Structure 1
Amino acid sequence: MRFTNLIAYKYKTPIAYTQEQLEQSLQQDAFRKCGAQEYSTFGWTKALGKHGATLSHFSKEFILLCAKVEEKILPATVVNEKLAEKVQQIELDENRTVKKKEKDELKDSVYNTLLAQAFTKSSLHFAFIDMKRGLFVVNSSSFNKAEQLAALFRKSVGTLPIIPAFCDFDLDVHLTDWLTKTQAPENFSLGYDTKLEDPTGEGDEVALKRHALGSDETRLHLDSGKRVTELALKWGENIEFTLKNDGSLKRLSYSDTIKESNADIPKEDIPAKLDADFLLCAGEISELLDRLFSAMGVSDNQEQAA
């Protein structure tokens, strides 16, 4: 159970959830399937899937959450095609032109009819809470989806005093400085991918992949005033990732050491394996975020005071 994209938030106040209270809160918004006239539904499902019994999974200071989305598959082209057929039939049968207001009413009728018959697709969205460090971490590369999951949790528990984890940092400055010096912060090393853009928005965006980031070409772009918006990094020997200037971490890749850490747990004990994998993953990610905050000049004491 590994998170591959991250959008992290920080709690503004200390937190201490208990499983009994949290379960009661999450049950209010437990997942249910779409009704006949619903386009989508969004709610909490078992954190460990069929191998668990609770909507939240507590493991030491970490809590795993899982939300499920079910959506109807109803392409606009299908609706428009059926609408055109109805309009054409009316115009032929009644020898008149169907006006816009009537066409809009017909479209609503067609949509509702097709919606009740549509197939559905579902997806799972994971997040974890680090109660010790005060982090709310969503496994997503989309801020919109992360905000939707955070909004659902806020609705369930009544309050969620969080802010984006990197909102106080000018990441453009840090990323550009690291690439300019071709030196990542302590415990980190530069990868081989980056994106740069003209800060005025008038120049081209440049994407360099599998590239020697200390090359003359990279230097030329930096000297022209371009800023770094994405930079591939490696934390120790454990995790490779790309840090974006919006504060998201993308394309996390874990070392074989991490992947094989819990290989000794018997295959038949799947709940124990899932718990161990989650605990390892959440711990590594929280430590990685701590290191990034430190690299930007924020100490543990400052974090706690904030």
Structure 2
Amino acid sequence: MWFKHAHFYRVHDAEAIPLDVLEAALAEFAFRPVSPREARRVGWTTPAGKRSEVRVHEIQGHRLIAMLRQERLLPAAVVNEEVSERAEARELAEGQLLSRRERQLLKEQVLEELLPQAFTRSQRVELWWDTTHNLIGINASSRKRAEEVLDLLRQTLGSLKVTPLATKTPPGRGMTAWLSDPGQRPASLLLGDRVELRAAEDDGVIGARSVDLDSEEMQSLLEGGRQASKLSIGSEGQLRAVLHDDLALKSLQFDDALLDEASQTDNGDDPVVSLETDFALMTGALGTFVDQLIEWLGGEADPRTGLS
């Protein structure tokens, strides 16, 4: 269950929630399959899969929960084609064009009829809550999906004050400085070979993989005013990832030594033991890396602003 991506949030003014209380709250909002008339549904599921009934796992203050999201796949092109065919048939029969309001009502009718026939797709999104350091990390590919998990958690708990994790030096400025001046790179920072540069004037983007980040061509682009919006970075013995300018980490790759340690652990084919072993190793590495990242970017920004 190693995270592939991570969006980070700082938790504010949160009282310690007993494990049994949290488990009961999650059960109240447990996932139920989407009904024939629903476009989507979200709810809490068991992180270890169907062989487990545990909805929250805790290892030394680190808690793992998981949201299951199910949606019906009804392509807009299919809906629009059906609406067009029905509208044309009515217009021919009635001898006049349908109004915008009539077309909208026709579309709603088509959606109502086709939705129960649509296939469903499910996606599980994990949330890691470091209750000791008041940090939340969400394994989601987009900020929108991460916010959806937080919305469900707020609904479950009644309230939850969090802000996106922020640093005193904006990530884009920090990444640009590391590329422009090797002397500003922290000693423990490992640069990869993937970068994305944006031009402020026209929003043009240049992306490159397997490139020499210290090449003359790269320096020329930076001197021309381009700013780094994505950069592959890492730390020895922990992980590598692509840092984005909103402080998200994507395409996470954990160190081989950690993965080997996890695979060599005797879990007795118990999915819960296997999950908790991976979780403990992952949070240890990811938590240390986040602390380093905050330090590399000048420390954490004032958390008292922007509460949501």
TM-score under structure 2 length normalisation: 0.90
**Structure 1 position 40, deviation (Å):** 0.6
| Alignment check: 8 A CA contact 1:138 1:146 kept | yes
Unaligned regions of 5+ residues in structure 1, if any? none
1:111-145 deviation line (CA, Å, top 9, x unaligned): 10111222211111111100111101001231111
1:52-79 deviation line (CA, Å, top 9, x unaligned): 2122112221111110111111112222
Give the CA RMSD over aligned residues: 2.0
Count residues with an aligned counterpart: 299
**Structure 1 position 85, deviation (Å):** 3.3
Cα distance in 2 for residues equivalent to 1:45 and 1:203: 40
| Alignment check: 8 A CA contact 1:15 1:134 kept | no
- Equivalence for 1:166: 166
- Equivalence for 2:193: 192
Structure 1's consecutive aligned runs of 4 or more residues displaced over 4 angstroms after TM superposition are none
Q: Structure 1 residue 112 and structure 2 residue 130: aligned?
A: no
| Alignment check: 8 A CA contact 2:44 2:67 kept | yes
Q: How does 1:1-306 map to 2 (within 5 A)?
A: 1-13=1-13, 15-92=15-92, 94-100=93-99, 101-166=101-166, 168-182=168-182, 184-198=185-199, 200-202=200-202, 204-262=204-262, 263-298=264-299
Moved more, 48-57 or 247-256: 48-57
1:21-76 deviation line (CA, Å, top 9, x unaligned): 11122222211111222111011111211232122112221111110111111112
| Alignment check: 8 A CA contact 1:15 1:131 kept | no
Unaligned regions of 5+ residues in structure 2, if any? 304-308
> Residues 118 and 203 from structure 1, CA distance in 2 versus in 1: closer, same or farther, beyond 3 angstroms?
closer
TM-score under structure 1 length normalisation: 0.90
Cα distance in 2 for residues equivalent to 1:115 and 1:205: 38
Cα distance in 1 for residues equivalent to 2:204 and 2:103: 44
Q: Which amino acid aligns with 2:90?
A: I
Once the two structures are aligned, what percentage of the paired residues are identical? 27
Cα distance in 2 for residues equivalent to 1:110 and 1:85: 11
> Residues 19 and 191 from structure 1, CA distance in 2 versus in 1: closer, same or farther, beyond 3 angstroms?
same
Aligned partner of residue 202 in structure 2, secondary structure:
coil
Cα distance in 2 for residues equivalent to 1:52 and 1:137: 23
| Alignment check: 8 A CA contact 2:168 2:298 kept | no
